[in-house]
Structure 1
Amino acid sequence: MSVEAWIPPWYFTLLGCFLFLTSVPCTSSMEVTVLPKVSVLNGTTARLSCTFTSCYKPDNNLLNMNWTYRGCINCSEEMFLQFKRKIINLKLEQFKDRVTFVGNPSKNDFTVNINDIQLTDEGNYTCYVLNPPDRNKGSATIQLTVVTEVPPKRSNTVAVVVGASVGGFLAVVILILVVVKCVRRKKKQELNSEDQKTEEEGKTDGEGNPEEGTKQ
């Protein structure tokens, strides 16, 4: 008996599909992910998160990344941090020594912190990543806004008052229904008791003796 005689036909179909899928090269482009808009309180630390996904495992000898800053639409784009085998802080005058790298290139993470954020630090921050053999460089931009005070939290007072009012009203309605039900049940019991008493009295002459119609 040949091998083909006991192997079902669908086996070769599945095997062919598997070999085809495993031989197809990775064609999806690299993607860089950031939070598009970040709002930070003046004087605090701004965390600019940047991660990327790629078909290829990062090779620190080939991986290339840089962060740039653009203060306005017509302003030039300036690089302030770079990765080429190691992190290079370019110490741009805009930030001096306030930039700290907190990511992990081996985990596709190029997050940075900017300490003691200032109003003049507002603008667009772009994270560029090139991960060969990916041919195209990926990028994503964060629009950073610096505020001077924390926005007030939305008050829940109205919702609490409305909820309490509705809850109280429902409690009163339920209480009234319970009372009405109890009163009706009590009246029903009293009526049944009176009917039973009247029936028993009808069988006596009023003095506890049986009526004449009932005498033996």
Structure 2
Amino acid sequence: MTSSTNYDGVELNEGSIYGGTEGAWCSEALEMSVGKIPFLEAVNGSTVLLPCIYSSCIGIKDLYFNWQFNDNGTMRKVCEGVIPTETVEPHVNVYKDRVEFIGSSKTSNISILLWNVTFDDEGEYTCFGRNPKEKGKNHSAIFTLIVVDELKVVDNTLTIIIASAVGGAIGLLMAFMLLKNFTLYVLAKIEEKNKECLVSSSGIDNTENGLSGSKVDSKATPKKA
């Protein structure tokens, strides 16, 4: 059964939060995000960014967060900290070598850098957050790190061939349309010239045959003596 709470005559279901000052409804007051692409392929020995940002439509107070690494089923804490308010930077405890916290409460950022990654660093990293304003509700997002010897070179040969074929087809179509329009233009001019010649020839024939429009010499009738 879903529980509900009544605030000023407004009934709220469990899991819904109403921001009275802004007058806005929030289905999730706190949200953790690792970006639209939640994975990264990195070369062994490189330095990578593990991104995570948070957002809350009701604000934060003493927001607790941490990063955890899934080590073959065992969750190992990478770092953790508490953000008192939006304008106060957190004190962060780091528990894993080669990890640097680069986040800031001013930008709602709790990202970390992992220096000189090794194959042992490959796996899932969980960005976790809990806002006391939500009465202990937990939120998290998972980012997957893949470590390789070298990045694969993408073969674009097929793409280039397809693009060239499409471009050639478009070029031929444009050339055909231009040739067609030019041919129609020439034919129209020839037809127009033929009509002019036909009208001119018809006028000459009428004149020679003494038809209307032609001049006929008339002789005066001699007077009777």
Normalising by structure 1, we get a TM-score of: 0.72
- 1:69-110 deviation line (CA, Å, top 9, x unaligned): 12323xx221121114511122x2xxx2x2121111344321
The one of 172, 177, 180 aligned to 1:174:
177
Identity %: 20
Alpha-carbon shift at residue 180 of structure 1 (Å): 1.9
Alpha-carbon shift at residue 140 of structure 1 (Å): 2.0
Aligned residues: CA RMSD: 3.0
Residue type of the alignment partner of 1:79: K
SS in 2 for 1:174: helix
Alpha-carbon shift at residue 123 of structure 1 (Å): 1.0
Q: Which runs of 4+ in 1 moved over 6 A?
A: 22-25
CA contact (8 A) 2:127 2:142 kept: yes
- Alignment partner, residue 6 of structure 1: none
- Alignment partner, residue 44 of structure 1: 46
Residue type of the alignment partner of 1:80: V
Q: Which residues of structure 1 form unaligned runs of 5+?
A: 1-17
- Alignment partner, residue 66 of structure 1: 66
The one of 196, 199, 202 aligned to 2:205:
202
Q: Which residues of structure 2 form unaligned runs of 5+?
A: 1-6, 19-26, 83-89, 219-225
Q: Tell me, in whole angstroms, the C-alpha distance in 1 between the residues paired with 2:173 and 2:180.
A: 11
Q: Per residue, is there more helix in 1 or in 2?
A: 1
Alpha-carbon shift at residue 55 of structure 1 (Å): 4.7
Q: Tell me, in whole angstroms, the C-alpha distance in 1 between the residues paired with 2:103 and 2:11.
A: 32
Alpha-carbon shift at residue 23 of structure 1 (Å): 9.6
- 1:158-204 deviation line (CA, Å, top 9, x unaligned): 33212222212212221221232123113212311321231232134
Q: Tell me, in whole angstroms, the C-alpha distance in 1 between the residues paired with 2:144 and 2:190.
A: 74
Q: Does 1:184 align with 2:175?
A: no
SS in 1 for 2:151: coil
- Alignment partner, residue 17 of structure 2: 26
Q: Does 1:148 align with 2:149?
A: yes
Q: Tell me, in whole angstroms, the C-alpha distance in 2 between the residues paired with 1:130 and 1:64.
A: 5
Alpha-carbon shift at residue 132 of structure 1 (Å): 0.9
Alpha-carbon shift at residue 58 of structure 1 (Å): 2.2
Between 1 and 2, higher relative CO (CA 8 Å, sep ≥ 6) is seen in 1
Q: Tell me, in whole angstroms, the C-alpha distance in 1 between the residues paired with 2:174 and 2:108.
A: 56
- Alignment partner, residue 78 of structure 1: 76
- Alignment partner, residue 3 of structure 2: none
Q: Does 1:162 align with 2:165?
A: yes
Q: Per residue, is there more strand in 1 or in 2?
A: 2
Alpha-carbon shift at residue 111 of structure 1 (Å): 0.7
CA contact (8 A) 1:128 1:140 kept: yes
